[in-house]
Chain A
Amino acid sequence: MNNLKTKMISWTIPSCAVLAALIIGAIMLSALGANPIKGFGTMFASAFGNLDGLASTAVKSIPLLLVGIGICIAFRASVINIGGEGQMVMGALLATIMALAFPGLPAIIFIPLVLLVGLIGGAAWGAIPGALKAYFNVSEILSTIMLNIVAVQFMNFMLRGPLIDPGEIERGTRIPQTARLPEATDLPLLLEGARMHLGFLIAVLAAVAAWILLWRTSLGFRLRSVGLNPAAARYAGIPVKRSIIMALAISGAMAGLAGAILVFGSESHRMVTDGSSTGFTGSAGFNGIVVALFAGLHPLWSIPSALLFGGMLVGANALQRAVQVPSALIIALNGLIVVFVVSSEYFKRRVQTVQTDPKVQKTVSDSDKNQESDNLKD
């Protein structure tokens, strides 16, 4: 019963946080002269109201979900990965090079190959701050952010130079983008007439795999033990340094996969840069953190969480069209939800400690003593 109660609490508090954020969003909408009910209605309808909207929501949620899964794994091992953006870029870049280098392969081999390469690219980019943290005690928060900048500039260099579409040079337009990637790498659509492609299925499977990894494998066991108590893990002979690198590498791998899917699932089937990371990732490398936090760092709960935030992105565009408010408002709303949800963690913890600590501890130790004396009486 106690369990049920704690579960209820862990649900109601974040829900209230979202509600509070929406109320403030409504106030902002009113201040901009729009009808908040109509506004939110439009958002919801466009994101979840029809097949087309649902498909768009699903596609938008793919990078959010994959990055979010990576964040779940990293945070469970107590490493803060803010480098999702850079890892996405590096994964995408490496996968793109692969796709351009072997144009003749059949789809059945080519798609898994490029996705795998994307995964490896992200993993490598994640492992660097991991190693820096493990061996030189460099804060991974700083190093991952800094590596984002390096990755973006590297992408700009590659897409303006070595990887640029030869057609752009001929025409003299010099738009920094690659040539149309081989058709065999186009991610197949899952539904007739809707834009949803294979990437969504992969992301959902990745969420399940992450759950298995964390709670069903010895590797996940080690990562979690390092995250919860590095001193005890070290004492038990668990390689703490290696686990930290591993956590960041897996986290980066998920982001790298997200980057690759972004390229091969795009409508232009090219890798394009506008000079910033956001232009390519849509800030999924950061928003994925929000998705994971909102899901309570649970990979499976990250699925609905990613769909929610993906839906908000889709809804934001519709909102802009329907009630003529800037879609920047939605970015603000996103931020509000994060602030509220993250602060609600404090209340959740406080309620839960009050709930469990004195009661359970006392009853257990007490019954313990009674039983012990009973055992030894006879």
Chain B
Amino acid sequence: MMEESGSVPVLEMRGITKHFPGVVANDNVSFNLLKGEVHALLGENGAGKSTLMKILFGFYPPDAGQVFLNGHAVNLTSPAHAIANGICMIHQHFMLVPTLTVAENVALGLRSSRHPLTDLAAVTKRIQQLSDTFGLQVDPLAYVWQLAVGERQRVEIIKALYRDASILILDEPTAVLTPKEVDDLFQILRQMAEAGRSLIFISHKLHEVMALSDRITVLRNGCVTGEANPCDTSRAKLAQMMVGREVKLAPDKPHTQICEPRLEVKDLVVEGDRKTDAVCGLSFQICGGEVLGVAGVSGNGQRELAEAICGLRKPKTGQIKIDGQSVPSGNAKAAREAGLSYVPEERMRDGAIADFNIFENFILLNHGQKRFCRMGFLRFTPIHQHSRTLIDEYTVKTPNLETPAKNLSGGNIQKLILARELSSDPKVLIAAQPTRGVDIGAAEYIHERLSHQRTNGTATLVISEDLDEVLALSDRIAVMFEGRIMGIVNREEASRERIGLMMAGVDPDSPPADYCPSPE
């Protein structure tokens, strides 16, 4: 039945409409998937990609429209039902049990052939087969907790293959991978497509979509805004379809006068949460008007580095200087007073107080200043004024000043934090994952702001897992791997390949720039 013909799509979603209270998530969306094809679904956060896929996966029924599998109308009522129909979804956050082996994870939830006994030997054998066919290279007997992120993802793919999925939905599968791992993944996915499986690839990364897909469907505000072939479109065109206007993919980088070093970090050793050294003796400096980008897969000490510079984590040894002045370590207040601003990685945990309203979040740092506080009493008129100015300047979209921060979208919360952090015109700015989970429009704006701050003479440290972002913003790029800097390269000399190798711990041309003392 599967081999019916090439003309009937494996999957067709016709006129799908889905309303949520106050918002149309999908408006008459049509989408089809051919056998052996990789079809990318491109769109910003909230464009309706996940709603469409959740309808396909049986999470909720559409208000209107119909799903066809191999030309037959079906009503998918639950994920189990979808799986039974050969649809599998690989979530961004892996659904694996770390304490079980790969084989056990694959068998989990399936009825054993020797029910009620397990048949792990048979499962192992079949995994080995699949693994060989598609070049997945996973040891079925390894425990999941022992596996690297890329391997875990392959386990998810094996799970789908094992369930004999003919349609595979991949939700932002590259978010956590190194460039090398992305290449490997793409190879596997291509192989699967050639073997006759159909893949839906959800992403907002334009170059990946261009590299992998056979066809691209773009969603915006719940509607299909375009369909394209990667061969006759461009990244700029896709971005325009996604956002509805022209988008600058990289901010203008005017030449700035590099002056004295404003941030100096010397021999910094920081202990991580697991009581092992997460940062092993880093030294670097950033000049005014310069952006140093830190690339690397997360968990290689970037967060500890940022927290140590900001005084949130006391380093074991090392020195941090701002404008030549030594900053007392482990003291967030002192760091701020020395002229440091910080856009934290976890914006809802560190950057904003969810239950505080807009203006309360704006004055989090400077509520003690004379202009906002007299004799211990808050002065609401200037506070409101200040907040309104920032809201206008940074185009934070909010119904009013009393709206709790938790009701804003990710992009607007990030703009709020950025507005607050930049309003003091910092000497040094640390921006960690400044646009993670933020839509393209807001990301573009945030990049422009960071670039603007660079021209104002701020020394900026941008930490990001998004290599494109690092390449777009930085003057120099440092790659972190296991707590060390693999090397610092000038933007002009940096290529994706070179940085990618360094992210994986391979230094293409020189020995490690920093020596990491072995723990005693």
Question: B399-436: which have CB < 8 Å to A?
Answer: 399, 403, 406-412
Q: B310, B399, B412: which contacts A235 (Cβ < 8 A)?
A: B310
Question: B477-495: which have CB < 8 Å to A?
Answer: none
- The answer to whether A235 and B46 touch (CB under 8 A), given A225-B356, A359-B21, A368-B409, is no
Whether B368 pairs with A369 at a CB distance below 8 angstroms is no
A367–B409 Cα distance when bound, in Å, is 10
Whether B378 pairs with A373 at a CB distance below 8 angstroms is no
A residues within 8 A CB of B244? 373
Whether B439 pairs with A362 at a CB distance below 8 angstroms is no
B residues within 8 A CB of A375? 395
CB distance from B373 to the nearest CB of A (A): 5
CB distance from A79 to the nearest CB of B (A): 17
A356 and chain B: residue at smallest CB distance:
B407
Question: A320-378: which have CB < 8 Å to B?
Answer: 356, 358-373, 375-377
A238–B244 Cα distance when bound, in Å, is 42
A237–B421 Cα distance when bound, in Å, is 13
Q: B20, B245, B337, B364: which contacts A232 (Cβ < 8 A)?
A: B364
Which one, B139-147, B279-287, B345-353, B463-471, is touching chain A? B345-353
Whether A362 pairs with B365 at a CB distance below 8 angstroms is no
A residues within 8 A CB of B296? none
Whether B332 pairs with A234 at a CB distance below 8 angstroms is yes
- The answer to whether A218 and B368 touch (CB under 8 A), given A362-B22, A366-B221, is yes
A358–B399 Cα distance when bound, in Å, is 16
B439 and chain A: residue at smallest CB distance:
A369
Does A135 count as interface, using CB distance less than 8 angstroms?
no
A224–B355 Cα distance when bound, in Å, is 10
- The answer to whether A228 and B336 touch (CB under 8 A), given A364-B398, A368-B397, is no
Tally of A interface residues using CB under 8 Å: 39
Whether A364 pairs with B243 at a CB distance below 8 angstroms is no
A359–B221 Cα distance when bound, in Å, is 16
B residues within 8 A CB of A237? 332-333, 335-337, 365
CB distance from B222 to the nearest CB of A (A): 9
Does B126 count as interface, using CB distance less than 8 angstroms?
no
Does B23 count as interface, using CB distance less than 8 angstroms?
yes
Whether B373 pairs with A362 at a CB distance below 8 angstroms is no
Does A216 count as interface, using CB distance less than 8 angstroms?
yes
Whether B312 pairs with A235 at a CB distance below 8 angstroms is yes
CB distance from B129 to the nearest CB of A (A): 44
CB distance from B339 to the nearest CB of A (A): 13
Whether B349 pairs with A218 at a CB distance below 8 angstroms is no
Does B354 count as interface, using CB distance less than 8 angstroms?
yes
- The answer to whether A217 and B342 touch (CB under 8 A), given A372-B397, A375-B395, is no
A residues within 8 A CB of B411? 365, 368
Whether A216 pairs with B377 at a CB distance below 8 angstroms is yes
Does B517 count as interface, using CB distance less than 8 angstroms?
no
- The answer to whether A358 and B367 touch (CB under 8 A), given A232-B349, A234-B332, is no
Does A30 count as interface, using CB distance less than 8 angstroms?
no
A44–B351 Cα distance when bound, in Å, is 50
Whether B245 pairs with A229 at a CB distance below 8 angstroms is no
Whether A225 pairs with B243 at a CB distance below 8 angstroms is no
B408 and chain A: residue at smallest CB distance:
A364
Whether A367 pairs with B397 at a CB distance below 8 angstroms is yes
A residues within 8 A CB of B376? 217-219
A216–B376 Cα distance when bound, in Å, is 9
A residues within 8 A CB of B372? 218
Whether A363 pairs with B23 at a CB distance below 8 angstroms is yes
Whether B245 pairs with A373 at a CB distance below 8 angstroms is yes
CB distance from A367 to the nearest CB of B (A): 7
A331–B179 Cα distance when bound, in Å, is 67
A268–B349 Cα distance when bound, in Å, is 54
B residues within 8 A CB of A362? 20-23, 25, 46
- The answer to whether A376 and B245 touch (CB under 8 A), given A237-B365, A239-B333, is yes
Whether A369 pairs with B407 at a CB distance below 8 angstroms is no
A181–B397 Cα distance when bound, in Å, is 63
Whether A229 pairs with B354 at a CB distance below 8 angstroms is yes
- The answer to whether A364 and B407 touch (CB under 8 A), given A217-B376, A359-B22, A373-B441, is yes
Whether B349 pairs with A358 at a CB distance below 8 angstroms is no
CB distance from B36 to the nearest CB of A (A): 35
- The answer to whether A235 and B342 touch (CB under 8 A), given A221-B360, A362-B20, is yes
A residues within 8 A CB of B355? 228-229
Q: A218, A370, A371: which contacts B373 (Cβ < 8 A)?
A: A218
Whether A228 pairs with B356 at a CB distance below 8 angstroms is yes
CB distance from A219 to the nearest CB of B (A): 6
B residues within 8 A CB of A361? 406-407, 409
Whether B364 pairs with A217 at a CB distance below 8 angstroms is no
Does B500 count as interface, using CB distance less than 8 angstroms?
no
The 11 sampled A-B contact pairs (Cβ below 8 Å) are: A218-B373, A228-B356, A231-B350, A232-B351, A234-B312, A235-B310, A235-B342, A235-B351, A365-B412, A369-B221, A372-B397
**What 3 pairs between A and B have smallest CB-CB spacing?**
A365-B409, A237-B333, A368-B397
Contacts from B to A (Cβ < 8 Å): 20-23, 25, 44-46, 221, 243-245, 310, 312, 332-333, 335-337, 342, 344, 349-356, 360, 363-365, 367-368, 372-373, 376-378, 395, 397-399, 403, 406-412, 439, 441-442
Sample of 6 further A-B pairs with CB below 8 A, known A229-B355, A362-B25: A217-B377, A231-B349, A232-B349, A235-B342, A236-B365, A373-B441
